[in-house]
Amino acid sequence: MSLYLALKFLHLLGATILLGTGTGIAFFMLMAHLSRDAAFVAGTAGIVVVADALFTATAVVAQPVTGYLLTRETGIGLGEGWVALSLGLYVTAGLFWLPVVWIQARMRDLAAAAARAGAPLPAAYNRLFRIWFACGIPGFGSVMAIVWLMVAKPALGG
- Distance from C-alpha of 125 to C-alpha of 116, rounded to nearest angstrom: 15
18-32 residue pLDDT tens: 999 999 999 999 999
34-85 residue pLDDT tens: 999 999 999 999 999 999 999 999 999 999 999 999 999 999 999 999 999 9
81-91 residue pLDDT tens: 999 999 999 99
What's the pLDDT band for 158 if we cut at 50, 70, 90?
low
92-148 residue pLDDT tens: 999 999 999 999 999 999 999 999 999 999 999 999 999 999 999 999 999 999 999
Domain segments of the chain: what residues?
3-151
Amino acid at 68: Y
Indicate the angle between helix axes 123-152 and 81-117, nearest 10 degrees. Answer: 160
Amino acid at 152: A
Residue 69 CB-half CA count within 13 A = 14
- Distance from C-alpha of 36 to C-alpha of 79, rounded to nearest angstrom: 47
